[in-house]
Chain A
Amino acid sequence: MILLVDPAFRAGSLSMDEFVLPVGRIVERSERTWRYRHYADIGREIPEETEGVIICGTALKDNSFLSAVDRFDWLKATEIPVLGICAGMQVLCLAFGGTVGEGSEIGMTEVHVILPHPLLPPPPSFQAYELHSHSCEPPPAWETLAVSSACVQAIRDPHHPRYGVMFHPEVRNDCVVEAFLEMCVG
């Protein structure tokens, strides 16, 4: 089971339809099951049968999760693969010692692969859909896999299966979500 975490301002909001359900559709197409959980309802631990966690994006104006990052402390205690998308990548950054600042991109953008990884399309670059008002400075020791002209686009923790992408792979880059699912047991 893949746990889809919604960092939006409220559980089951219109943001869920836009940022969680499209990811769920890719998970289903990969013949896996998923469960929805709003970040405020997770508590200290994620469900035992979780094989992978995807922290999804939020609406452009929704940055309330940035002031509630302690709600994601369970991330530090898990060895289960985690993919953070947009807001999810910002959460990973803050949880592991990186920083988040201003930096907006909206629409299709050229993303340059600087460190090839099976998670991403092959180098040199690919087009990706962006929808963010903040950007990330990755945690110390994390690797930057890809960048756009504006900011860091993909990161990974070299010691744990934790990945962040700033673009929205559920739009025209399903392969990124599929590659992540390949890394999850089950």
Chain B
Amino acid sequence: MRLGVLCSGGKDSLFACYRAMQEEEVACLVTLVPKNPESYLFHTPNLHMVPLQAKAAGLPLVSEMTTGIEEKEVDDLSRALAIAAERHGIEGVVTGALMSVYQSTRIQRVCHDLDLWCFNPLWYRDPGTYMERLIASGFRVIVSGVFSAPFDASWLGRELDRDALSLLMQYARDFRITLTGEGGEYETLVLDAPFFHRRIVIEESEPWYRNYRGVLDVKRARLEER
């Protein structure tokens, strides 16, 4: 089955892509880019990195603009998926949804209307097991945004390795953040994945941090042989 993967540049969408590749044929990545960059920097700091990730993975990318207005987003998503179906012959969609009933309901409805399959391979997975597997599978992931206590500025650009994971586990216990960041406590950026042909190297980035909120704005990045 030819599938399109909804990709935000973070660990969940790209891990879902990795799992989908084990079972089906991933034909493209699909991403929605908000028109107003001011409004999205704090929600999806990596979106501008998705084209580089697609290149690293050797996958075509369908990138569509979205108004960022909540009610319109569903139409924008529908348009993007219809284009992916037309251009790349996808029969289904893969998402990295972990527990968000709100998000998954919206995507399921859009897929239903377009007569597309919808797969959520990370749905209700045990967070600890998932994070362990992510690291063990050879993903290289950095924290690209923090939006909650107790994250300090040192987290921006920090690699999600075993040390970082044990600290996150402590935070999840003591500060009630979700271990996976699905509650929006932190965002990630994937620099390397087992299915990448080349890896991403950040050449220039600018951290911005104030009062438990911050982003790593990647200004310049390139691909390098693995």
Contact = CB atoms under 8 A, between A and B. Distances in A.
Interface of A: 12-15, 17-18, 21-22, 25, 59-62, 104, 106-108, 129, 131, 133, 170-172
Contacts of B19: 14, 17
A60 B24 contact: no
Given A14-B23, A14-B94, A25-B126, A108 B121 contact: no
Given A106-B108, A106-B109, A59 B119 contact: yes
B101 A171 contact: yes
B115 interface: yes
B126 A14 contact: no
For the residues of B in contact with A, the DSSP-based class is mixed
Interface in B106-144: 108-109, 111-112, 115-126
Range, interface on chain B: 20 to 34
Contacts of B92: 61
B105 interface: yes
Contacts of A171: 101, 124
A99 to B, nearest CB: 22
Nearest to B111: A60
Given A13-B23, A14-B23, A170-B124, A107 B105 contact: yes
A59 B118 contact: yes
Interface of B: 19-20, 23-24, 92, 94, 101, 105, 108-109, 111-112, 115-126
Contacts, number: 63
A133 B121 contact: no
Nearest to A26: B124
Q: Which 7 pairs of residues, A with B, have the shortest CB-CB distance?
A: A22-B124, A107-B105, A17-B121, A14-B119, A18-B123, A61-B117, A14-B121
A52 B112 CA distance: 33
Contacts of A22: 123-125
Contact of A14 (B20, B108, B125): B20
- What does DSSP make chain A's interface, helix, strand, loop or mixed? mixed
A159 to B, nearest CB: 33
A17 B122 contact: yes
A30 B23 CA distance: 30
Contacts of B124: 21-22, 25, 170-171
B16 to A, nearest CB: 9
19 contacts: A12-B23, A13-B23, A14-B20, A14-B23, A14-B121, A17-B120, A25-B125, A60-B108, A60-B118, A62-B117, A107-B101, A107-B108, A107-B109, A108-B101, A129-B101, A133-B112, A170-B124, A171-B101, A172-B101
Nearest to A131: B108
B112 A60 contact: yes
A131 B120 CA distance: 13
B27 to A, nearest CB: 15
Given A61-B117, A170-B124, 20 more contacts: A13-B23, A14-B24, A14-B119, A14-B121, A15-B119, A17-B123, A18-B119, A18-B123, A21-B124, A25-B124, A59-B118, A60-B118, A61-B112, A62-B117, A106-B109, A107-B101, A107-B108, A133-B112, A171-B101, A172-B101
Contacts of B101: 107-108, 129, 171-172
B40 to A, nearest CB: 25
Contact of B105 (A59, A104, A108): A108
A13 B119 CA distance: 10
Contacts of A108: 101, 105
Nearest to B112: A60
